Amino acid sequence: MDWTLPLFAAVPLFTAAIAVLLPWRWARDVLHIGIPVAGIAAGVWLFAHTAVNGPIAHNVGLYVGGVAIPFAADTFAAIMIITTMIVAATANWFATISGETVSRYYASLTLILITGVNGALLTADLFNFFVFIEVMLLPSYGLIAMSGTWARLAGGRAFVLVNLAASTLLLIGVGVLYGVTGSVNIAALQGVAAGNGPAVVAMGLVIIAVGAKAGVFPVHTWLPRTYPESSAAVMGLFSGLHTKVAVYMLYRIYVNIFDLEDRWNWLIIAIMVVSMLIGAFAGLAENSIRRVLGYQMINGMPFILVMLAFTSDDPQRALAAGLLYTLHHMITVGALILTSGAIEETYATGLLSKLSGLARRDPLVAALFAAGAFSIVGFPPFSGMWGKILLVFEIARAVDWWAWLVIAVIVIASIGALLSMLRVWREVFWGKPMQRYPKELRVSGRLIAPSAVLMVGSLAMFIFAGPLIDATLTATEGLLDVDGYAHAVLGEDPIGVPDMTDLQGGR
Amino acid sequence: MILALTIAILVTGSVYLIQQRGMVRIVFGMSLLGHAGNLTLLASGVGAWRGEPFPDRTPLDVAADPLPQAFVLTAIVIAMATTTILLTLAALGRDDDTDVPEPADDNIAADPVATLGRAAGNGGK
Amino acid sequence: MNDQGTVRGNTEAPAQASPSFLTFIGGLTLLAAVSIAATAAGTTNLQGILASDFWSQRPELTVPVAVLVAVSAFTKSAQLPFHFWLPEAMAAATPVSAFLHAAAVVKAGIYLLLRFSTVFHDVAVWNGLLIIAGMTTAVISAAFAVQKTDLKQLTAYSTVSHLGWIVATIGVGTPFALAAAVVHTAAHALFKSSLFMLIGVIDHEAGSRDIRRLGRLWDRMPFTFGSVVIGAASMAAVPPLLGFLSKEGMLTAFQDAPYSGLLLFVAAIGAVLTFTYSAKIVFGAFIDGPRDMSKVHEAPVSLWLPAALPGLMSLPLAFLVGLADAPLEAVTASIGAEHESHLALWHGVNTPLLISVAVLIIGVIGVVFRKRIWPALEGRKMFPSSGNEILESGVRVSTLFGRAVGAMANTHNPSRHLLPLVLCVIVLGGATFLSPGVDGITPAPRTAGLDNPWDLIPLVIIAVSVVGLAITNSRLSAAVLIGTVGVGMSLQMMLLGAPDVALTQLTVEALTVIVIMMVLRYQPNLFPKVKSGRRQIGALIIALLAGAVAFTGVHALLGRRERSELAMWYLTEAPEITGGQNVVATILVEFRALDTLGELSVLGMAAIVIAAVAHSMPRHPFKEGTRPAPFGQSQLNSIPMRKVIVLVIPVLAILSVLVFMRGHQDPGGGFVAALIMGAAIGLAYLSKGQDGIVFRESTPVWLTGIGIMTAVGAGFIGLLEGSFLYAIHGYILGEHMTTSLIFDLGIYLAVLGMLTMAINALGGYLRPGVDVNDLNYARIDDGGPLPATPTIEPGDDHVEAFPEPINPADAPRSVLVADAETTTATDKETDR
C-alpha cells in the first residue's frame, strides 16, 4: 500500500489546479474544505496501517534506494497529517464563512499549501523537503498579503523576505551537507551529525533555517509582526501548518541524523528557556488580540522543542509529551485565532483599545475565548492541562538542576501566559459596552462555529486523554524506530550511504 | 578557492544590500543570496571535475557531478518565481520604502488596504 | 491612548482575577512537586509515592518538594501572602457559594498538607514554614477581622485566621498535633458554616450585613441570636463548646513545638483577637448599632434552623466527643501518625487551660470597653499596600519586562527581521572557526584541480558588479548590475561544466530584467537614503563577517572528497535506464521528478499569487517624479520592433520546440524551452505601442491550471506501472518517447503562465492594483453597521495618472533646429 503515499501530495495538487479554473464559488469552497477532510480520513487510515505494519516507504518512480526520492510514513507522520488536516479544514471553513473565498484564488492557494504540508511531512529526502517547503511558502506569500489589516503589505514583504532567506539558507545547508557526505537522503544520513565533525556544521545551517520557520529565539521576531497583519483565517491556517511542519522536521532530524545527541542539551535548554520567557511576557505589550496570540504561538514552540534535550532517560515518553503538546497547541491556538477572527470580521477591528464589553454582547464568543485561554494556560478541562502535566513529568525524570531550571521557567512562563490572556479578557470582554456599533450587530453563530468545533476537539482531547496519550506513544515509538525507517526507505543495496569513518569523531 | 571567494563576495554584497532601505534593493540582495546558494551547490559537486555530464561525449573521469546541477536548476527556477513575487510586492502599495513607522494607535477600518469586517451585519455572506 | 497597550488601571479586575491567578500558581507548584516525586518514586500512585524510599535516600529532593507542596497548599488555603483572594471572593458571592469557599475549597489545601505530613512531618523546613506562615496568618487575619464592619468580610477573614491555626498545628508534626488539626478542622467546619449562613439570614431579614446599618436585633430575632451566640462562642473557644476543646488541643500541640514559649505567646494574642471579633459579630449584629430594627421579624424556621444546626451541634458534641476517639485514631493512622486519642472537655489544669482562661478574661474586658476600642481600629490600613496592589504592581513589572523583550521584534522593517538569521550563521561560523579543525575533525586534503584560473573571469565580473551594487544609488544602475551578475554567474556555470544550468540562468536573467524594468519605471530614480552613517557601517561590518564565514565555510567543508557514489551511479547507469544522454535533464524529469513537480507548482502558483495580491490591493496614485510622460507617437516608435518580431518570434518559437524535444539528449529541456518562449512573449509585449496585457486576462490562469494538471496527469499515468511519476517508455513514429515528455509539457505551460501573469499584472499603463470601488472586500456606504472603505486620498506629492504625452501626433516636434528652439520652452513643461 505504500504507492498511496505520493498521492497525499498529488491529489491536493491536482485539485488545486482544478480549483483555479472553476468559475463557481460553491465548487471551490467544497474542494478546499473537502480535501482536508479527506486528508483526515487518509491520515487515520495511514496511522492504523503504520501502527500495525511499522514504517512504510515508497521510492517515487521505483528507482533504487538512495537515488529515488522516498516518501516514508510512520505513525508520527500520520498523526501530524491528521492534526494538520483538522486545522486546515477548520480554517478553510472559517475562510468560507468569513467571505475570503470571494477571491477566486483563495481555494487553490490553500490546496497547494496542503500539498506542500503533506509532501514535507512524508518526504525522507532533504532536498525534496526544501522543495516542498517552497511549495508551502509560495501560496503563503499570496495568502498573507491578500487580506488582513492595514499593515498586510508590510507584513507580507517581511514574511516573504524572511522565509525566502530561511529557505535559501536551508538550500545552502543541504548543499553543504551533500558536499560533506555525498547524500541528501535522511535514512542514509542516519547518525552522521552525532558526535562531532563537518556534518554537524552543515546540519547547523539546516537547523537554523528550520528553526527560523518554527519561530524559535532569536529568529522568531518576524512571526508576531507578519502573521497578525494577515486575516484571521490565514493566520489560523498558518499557525497549524508552517510552524508545526518545522517542528516535525526538527524532531525527525534530531532523532535520525543527530541520533538524540546529548552534546547540545545545554544549548537547546538555554535557547528554549529564553524563548519561553519572551513568548510568555511579550504579549503583555501588544495592542491587538491576534498579536497577543502571535506571542502565544512563540510561547508554545519552546515547550515542544525543549523535550529534545530530555531524551537521555526515556526518549519515547519525552518525545510523546512533546508531541501531545504539539497537538494540543495546534488545536487550541487555532481555536483562539478563529475566535478572534470572528470578532474582527464582525466589528472590523482587533485592537484591544477599540473593543470592550463583548462578554455581554456575545456570551458564546466570550465562553469560547475563555475556554481557549484556559486550555493554552493549562487549566482543566481542556487539552492544555494534560499537555503541561506530561511535559513537566517527563522533564522531572532527569533529576538534575537543568530540569529544575526548565520546570521553574515553565511555571513562570505559564504565569506570564495567564497574565497575557487575562489582559485580553479584561480589555476586550469586560468593560463598558461599545457605543459605536448598533445593538443588533453581533457575532453570528456561523462565524463562531469553526472555533467552537476546535474547542470541542480540545475538550475531547482532555476527556479521551488515555487513548490520545497511547496514540502519541505509538507515534514516537515509530519515530524512534530508525532502523525500520532506514530499512523501509533504503531497501536492499542502496546507493550513496555515506561513510563517516574519517568525517566523524566522538562516536 | 576562487569559487569560495566568489561565493564570499556574493554573500557580502547580499548581506549588505538586505540591510538597506527600499524593497527593490533588498530584493536585489536576496537575488545575490540566491546566486551564492547556487554556486555553493555547484561547489559541493567538487569543481575539480568540470566535464559536461553527457556520458556519450564526455569521458567518465572528467564528468562533473550531475546531481548538484539538477538541484541548482530547481533552485534557479524557484528563485525566479519568488523574485517576481517580491517585485510585485515592491510595486504595490504607496512606495517601496521599508523603513515604515508604526502608527501609534490606528483606526483599522479607516484604511483602504484593511479587509476586516467583510462579514459584518450580513451573517457572513 | 495606548501605543503598545499599557495596563489600564482597572482596579476591580485584578480582584476578580486574583482567585484564579493565585490558585493557578498553587496548581503549578503542585504539578512541579508531584512530578518530581512521582518520577523519583517510579509510580504515580499516591500511597506508593508516600511510601517510597527516595525520600530518605535523596534528601536533596525532599526539602524542595516539601516547600513546593507547602506553597501550593498556602495558595489554596489562603495563607499569607496568598490570602487576599479569599475575602474578596467570599464577600462578593451568595451565602451558599461563600460557604462552599469557606468549607470546601480551602480544605483542599489542608488535605494536601495532612496527606504529605506522612513524609514531611519531621522535615525542619516544613515545620518552620508551616508554623511561621500559619501563625502569622492567624494573628494578622484576626487583626484584619477585628477591623471590619461588614459581617461577611469579618467572617471571611476569620476563616483565614482559623486556617492559619490549622496550618500551624499541622506544622508541629507530632501525631497529637495532626489529630488536633483534624479536630479543629471539624469544629471549624461546624461553627463557620453556621455563622456564614446565619449572617445570610440576618442580611435577608434586616436588609444589611454591615454593623453600621444594623441595630438592636436580639429581641426581634431571638432564635437567630441564640444560634449566633453559640456559633461565635465556639469560634471564640468558650467552654463548654467544641471550639474550646479543639483550641485546647491545638495549644497542647504547640507545647511540643520548637520555641514553644514564643509560639504559645503569639497563639494567646491570636486567641484574644479571635475572641474579640467573635464578640464583635454578636454585639455588632444584635446589640449595638444605630438603626431602628422594630420592623424586622424573626426568620421562618425553615430558614434559620438549617443554618443554625451545625453551630448548635458544637454544644452537645463537646460532651460526646469521646465517641470520636476511634475514628480519629483511624484518620491519623492513615497519614502515618500513630496516636492514642483521649478527647475530652476537661484535661485537668495545665498550661493551655491557663492560657484559655487568661484569654477569656482579657477578652471580656475588651468587650466591656468595646465602644472605645473598636471604632479606633476600624478602617485603618495595617500594611502599606494591599494584596491587590501588590498583584497590580507585579503585573506592571511583567508588562515592562514584556515590552523590553518584545522590542527586538517590534518593527515592520524586514531588514531588522533578517538580521538575527544572519547573526546566527555568523555565530555558527565563528564557533566552528574557534574549534580545532572543523568541529574537532581535521578536514581531508583539498581535491587536486579545484582551482581553475578561468574562474577568475567570472570572479572579476561578479566582484565589480557587487561593489557597484553596494555603492550605487540609482535604481537603473542597480538593475543593470544585477544583470551583469547574472551573466557572470552564467559564465561560471559554463566553466563548471553545467550547460543546462547556464542556459537556464541566462534566460531567467533576461526575463527577470523585463520584470524589474516593469517595476522600476514607476519608481523614483534613486533609492531611499539611509540617513544614519552608523547603520551603514554596521551593515558593512556584518556583511564582511558574513562573507568571511561563507569563505571559510566553503573552503573548509567543500571540495574535499571524490565524486560521490550517487554521482558515479548517475553517470554510469542513468543513460541505460532512461535512454537519454543528458543526465541532468533525466534527473530532473525522471529520477527526481517529484522535485520538478514541486518546482512547477511553485511556478504556477507564482502566477496565482501575483494575481491574488495585485487584485486585492487598491491602486495607489503616482508619486512626484515617478510618472514619466508617455510618448505621443509610440505606435511609430514601435514599428522597428514590430517588424523585427515578425521574424524573431517564429524563430524563437521553433527554437523553443526544438529545445523542448532535444532535452533528453542534449542541453535543453522543458524549462529552457519555456523560457525561450517566454522571451518571445516578452518581445511581443515590448513591441506593443501601448502598455497592455498579452493574450487575455484569464490566459495565465488557464496556462497554470492546465500545466499543473498535465504534469500531475503524467504522474497518474505512471501509477499504471506501480508508482506515481513512473516513467513509461515507448516508441512513437520511431521516436523514443517517455511520459516524462508529458511532464515536461506541464512545466512548459506553467512557466508561460507565470510569465504572462507577471506581464499582465505589472505591465499596465497605471500602477498595479485595482480601483478601490472594485475591490471585493470594499464596503460601500449603504447604512450598514460599519463605515465605508475609504478611498486613497491624493496627497501633495502625488501627480496625476494621465499626463500629457510627449511629442503627440497632433502637435509633433520638428526635427529641424530652428523650430526646435521655439518649442524648447514648452518642452521643459512636458518633459519629466
Q: Quick check: B43 and C558 CB within 8 A?
A: yes
Categorize the per-residue pLDDT at C379 as very low, low, confident or very high, splitting at 50, 70 and 90: low
Strand partners, C799: C622
Residues of A in contact with B71 (CB under 8 A): 127, 171, 174-175, 178
- Which parts of A147-231 fold into alpha helices (H)? 152-181, 198-214, 223-226
Q: Quick check: A441 and B120 CB within 8 A?
A: yes
pLDDT the model gives residue C103: 65
pLDDT the model gives residue C260: 80
Q: Quick check: B108 and A350 CB within 8 A?
A: yes
Q: Is the pLDDT of residue C46 over 60?
A: yes
Q: Greater confidence, C348 or A222? A: A222
CATH class of segment(s) B2-120: mainly alpha
Give first-to-last CA distance, chain C, whole Å. Answer: 44
d(CA C150, CA C155): 9
Cross-chain CB nearest to A150 (options B86, B108, B120)? B108
Query: In 3D, which of A120, A210, A84, A199 has the Cα closest to residue A503?
Result: A199
CB neighbour list of residue C489: distance below 8 Å, 6 or more residues apart: B35, B38, B39, C458, C462, C505, C509
d(CA C98, CA C86): 9
pLDDT the model gives residue A348: 84
pLDDT the model gives residue C225: 84
Q: pLDDT tens-digit profile of C557-573? A: 998 888 889 999 999 99
Categorize the per-residue pLDDT at C8 as very low, low, confident or very high, splitting at 50, 70 and 90: very low
Categorize the per-residue pLDDT at C95 as very low, low, confident or very high, splitting at 50, 70 and 90: low
pLDDT the model gives residue C418: 95
Q: If DSSP codes are grouped into helix, strand and coil, which group holds residue B5?
A: helix
d(CA C529, CA C333): 82
Q: pLDDT tens-digit profile of B13-55? A: 999 999 999 899 999 999 999 999 999 999 998 888 999 999 9
pLDDT the model gives residue A493: 83
Mean pLDDT, to the nearest integer, of C206-227? 81
Q: Is the pLDDT of residue C531 over 60?
A: yes
Residues of B in contact with C547 (CB under 8 A): 8-9, 11-12, 15
* Per-chain mean pLDDT for chain C: 84
Q: Which residue of B has its CA nearest to C480?
A: B28
Categorize the per-residue pLDDT at C114 as very low, low, confident or very high, splitting at 50, 70 and 90: confident
- Which parts of A187-231 fold into alpha helices (H)? 198-214, 223-226
A475, A75 in Cβ contact below 8 A? yes
- Give the total residue count for chain C: 832
Q: pLDDT tens-digit profile of C426-484? A: 999 999 999 888 888 888 888 888 888 999 999 999 999 999 999 999 999 999 999 99
Beta strand C735-738 with C622-623 is unpaired
Mean pLDDT, chain A cut into blocks of 10 residues (507 residues total): 90 95 94 96 95 91 88 94 96 93 93 96 95 96 91 92 96 95 92 89 95 92 93 94 95 93 91 94 91 93 94 91 95 95 89 88 92 90 89 86 90 92 91 84 90 94 92 93 91 85 79
Strand partners, C731: C736
Which of the residues A134, A140, A146, A432 would you substitute to probe the C interface, choosing the one with the greatest number of C C-beta atoms within 10 Å? Answer: A146
Q: pLDDT tens-digit profile of C671-705? A: 899 999 998 998 888 888 877 788 888 999 999 99
Categorize the per-residue pLDDT at B122 as very low, low, confident or very high, splitting at 50, 70 and 90: very low
Residues of A in contact with B37 (CB under 8 A): 168, 171-172, 175
Cell of A111: 490546496
Task: Enumerate neighbours of B (3 or more CB pairs within 8 A).
Answer: A, C
Q: Is the pLDDT of residue C549 over 90?
A: yes
Mean pLDDT, to the nearest integer, of C134-140? 88
Q: Is the pLDDT of residue C735 over 80?
A: no
Residues of C in contact with A72 (CB under 8 A): none
Side chain identity at residue C124, one-letter code: A
Q: Is C204 on the interface with A (CB under 8 A)?
A: no
Q: pLDDT tens-digit profile of C307-336? A: 788 877 777 777 777 777 878 888 877 777
Q: Is the pLDDT of residue C15 over 50?
A: no
pLDDT the model gives residue A169: 97
Q: Is A219 on the interface with C (CB under 8 A)?
A: yes
Q: pLDDT tens-digit profile of C162-211? A: 989 999 988 888 888 888 888 888 888 888 888 888 888 888 888 777 88
pLDDT the model gives residue C223: 82
Query: In 3D, which of A51, A82, A37, A204 has the Cα closest to residue A461?
Result: A82
Which of the residues C422, C558, C751 would you substitute to probe the B interface, choosing the one with the greatest number of B C-beta atoms within 10 Å? Answer: C558
Q: How many inter-chain contacts (B to C, CB under 8 Å) are there? A: 347
Cross-chain CB nearest to C405 (options A13, A115, A277)? A277
Categorize the per-residue pLDDT at C350 as very low, low, confident or very high, splitting at 50, 70 and 90: confident
Strand partners, A57: A72
Q: Is the pLDDT of residue C819 over 70?
A: no
Cell of A367: 465562553
Q: Is the pLDDT of residue C5 over 80?
A: no
pLDDT the model gives residue A1: 82
Q: If DSSP codes are grouped into helix, strand and coil, which group holds residue A57?
A: strand
Q: Greater confidence, B111 or A473? A: A473
**Minimum distance, in Å, between the CA of residue B82 and any CA atom of chain C:** 7
**Minimum distance, in Å, between the CA of residue A1 and any CA atom of chain C:** 10
Which of the residues C495, C508, C583 would you substitute to probe the B interface, choosing the one with the greatest number of B C-beta atoms within 10 Å? Answer: C583
Q: pLDDT tens-digit profile of B35-45? A: 999 999 999 98
d(CA C485, CA C487): 5
pLDDT the model gives residue C1: 37
Which pTM was predicted?
0.89
d(CA C508, CA C754): 12
* ipTM of predicted assembly, 2 dp: 0.94
- Give the total residue count for chain B: 125
Q: Is the pLDDT of residue C384 over 70?
A: no
Q: Quick check: B13 and C792 CB within 8 A?
A: no
Which of the residues C471, C496, C760 would you substitute to probe the B interface, choosing the one with the greatest number of B C-beta atoms within 10 Å? Answer: C496
Mean pLDDT, to the nearest integer, of C348-369? 83
State the Rg of chain A over Cα: 22
Strand partners, B63: B51
Cross-chain CB nearest to A138 (options B81, B113, B123)? B81
Buried b (16+ CB within 10 A) or exposed e, C112-126: bbbbbbbbbbebeeb
C686, C641 in Cβ contact below 8 A? yes
Q: Quick check: C459 and B2 CB within 8 A?
A: yes
Instruction: Provide the chain C residues 101-120 that lie in CB contact (below 8 A) with chain A.
Output: none
Cross-chain CB nearest to B63 (options C458, C561, C571)? C571
